[in-house]
A and B are shown apart, each in its own frame.
Chain A
């Protein structure tokens, strides 16, 4: 696992991908932080976290698109699959490398609470919870992106497919508001599996364990599926 992890991490920073992701994500979150917290003088970071969540759905696919697609295209999967390594180790190595990049980039945003703390009184628990939640959500997004990447040889298809999936989930929320109230089960259903509604309680300073578990199990599910898919390729 550590071999794959190290190689992928290395690849993120020897190719433009890691930098593209970091620059895009940081530029947009910083811009939003400046507008909302600096210009409008707010000490609450909850909206920033929500923006981070949406930005992560749009930018983590950049990190995950090549994880398996590129291996298939270059036929390097032959090396991985004939090495004495289990498929889940390969999947986890790749997952943690992308997760490491996200975590490092998120660490750069720790400047926000610092700025807020100098000029106001931020809620420490809310911020800690927000970071934990955003990390869990990022893990789920990466796992989904990893899975989509293991479906296709084309990076572009993996990128568009993953972003498309996340945008669809976001659109579902809009659709939900136009569903008649009598269909409560449908409301509940959409809310249940939307990673966005799951997130809203975190931004309100609440820390529900079941929502956290939702992200964690989503991550586990898609990592498991990716490993199975990798194994299944043998049997094609």
Chain B
């Protein structure tokens, strides 16, 4: 459905996107994941023909986006980073304008627009002026705009930005249901979003694709190296020496502070493919030192993301022994991978917005 070959965008000296190549099959829901400034929006703008590529080509539904732009754009519904709304129009007027602008051929403007309004939850707001809408509602209007004309490809640049947690859940469900019959590309820097919505992930950093696969695949790949935090009731030096001596341990870091009297926290990294937890237990038990806590550190998806996007070097995806330049962001964080349905509000706000 979408084919991208060697797509490159150069802004003066800066290369925003470099030699991007990927294919997206019909009916796939693909997430572009990457830190801000990684080139997600630039790529989407090139796919929709808003900006041209410096090199390479992209085809959507068989039509080259630059050579045959009108045909390509007929198949695309695009929600840009900032929804393109006219504040002085009402929601209904605006959607009707988009219907005309896209030269939609399907009969029954009213029925078509009403259906879309119902889908995104705007059916009660058609007579409201866009300038009076809240950010979340504006985002919905932007999404509705992309759906006008039933395009077979949806390109959504951060579709859930500005929505409240309940709306986020609703919109994600909507995208999933839309993706049954359509090809969807959505960009996000919210990790939960990709696991909640996407079937496939393209991780972009520094303008290049650093990883491509299903969320599960990527996590498995990233899990080659794992780390955990440990609380041991023993003098720091004794414990650290013992830990370093245990089989499968790559590195031990002493964490600051004395969380419990006489007990200290350590961050232990296992070697690739090895699970050092058993050997650590044996080593400490042999020395008679009690383990007060043992927890896998951080969210594995977040770890994967950090590792993949660190410095944006594609080689790192193949070699799991990444340098430990960056300490784990939240060593004590509980292993929270909540399903998106019961995500509490604060959770969504605090998601790793890297």
Binding site for B on A (CB under 8 A): 2-4, 6-7, 10-11, 14-15, 74-86, 234-236
Contact = CB atoms under 8 A, between A and B. Distances in A.
B88 A85 contact: no
18 contacts: A6-B97, A6-B100, A10-B93, A14-B89, A15-B88, A74-B84, A74-B87, A76-B84, A76-B85, A78-B80, A79-B145, A82-B76, A83-B102, A84-B70, A84-B71, A84-B102, A85-B101, A234-B50
Contacts of B87: 74
Contact of A2 (B69, B73, B100, B102): B100
B52 A76 contact: no
Interface string B24-52: 00000000000000000000010011111
Grouping DSSP codes into helix (H, G, I), strand (E, B) and loop, the A interface class, with mixed when no group exceeds half, is helix
Contacts, number: 73
Contacts of A78: 45, 50, 78, 80, 82, 84
Contacts of A77: 84
A76 B88 contact: no
Given A79-B101, A82-B49, A11 B88 contact: yes
B93 A75 contact: no
B50 A81 contact: yes
A225 B88 CA distance: 28
Nearest to B75: A84
B74 interface: yes
B98 interface: yes
B343 to A, nearest CB: 30
Nearest to B73: A84
A76 B86 contact: yes
A86 B70 contact: yes
A3 B84 contact: no
Contacts of A84: 69-71, 73-74, 102-103
A235 B70 CA distance: 17
With a 10 A CB-CB cut-off, give which of A7, A74, A76, A82 has the most chain B CB atoms.
A82
Contacts of B93: 10
A80 B101 contact: yes
A77 B51 CA distance: 11
B70 to A, nearest CB: 5
Given A3-B103, A84-B102, A84-B103, 20 more contacts: A3-B101, A4-B101, A7-B86, A10-B93, A14-B88, A14-B89, A15-B88, A75-B80, A75-B82, A76-B86, A78-B50, A79-B101, A80-B101, A81-B50, A83-B101, A84-B70, A84-B71, A84-B74, A86-B70, A235-B52
Place the interface of chain B in its size category. 20 to 34
Interface string B56-89: 0000000000000111011010101010111111
A7 B96 CA distance: 10
B101 A74 contact: no
A82 B71 CA distance: 11
A81 to B, nearest CB: 5
B100 A82 contact: no
Nearest to A85: B101
A195 B95 CA distance: 41
Contacts of B70: 84-86
A196 to B, nearest CB: 35
B105 to A, nearest CB: 11
A7 B73 contact: no
Nearest to B70: A84
A82 B86 contact: no
| 5 pairs of A and B residues whose beta carbons are closest in the complex | A3-B100, A79-B84, A3-B101, A76-B84, A82-B48
Given A82-B76, A83-B73, A84-B73, A234 B86 contact: no
A75 B50 CA distance: 11
Nearest to B72: A84
A76 B138 CA distance: 13
Contacts of B103: 3, 84-85
A69 B236 CA distance: 65
Of A15, A77, A80, A84, most buried by chain B (CB within 10 Å of CB) is A84
A83 to B, nearest CB: 5
Contact of B73 (A76, A82, A236): A82
Contacts of A236: 51
Contacts of A79: 80, 84, 98, 101, 145
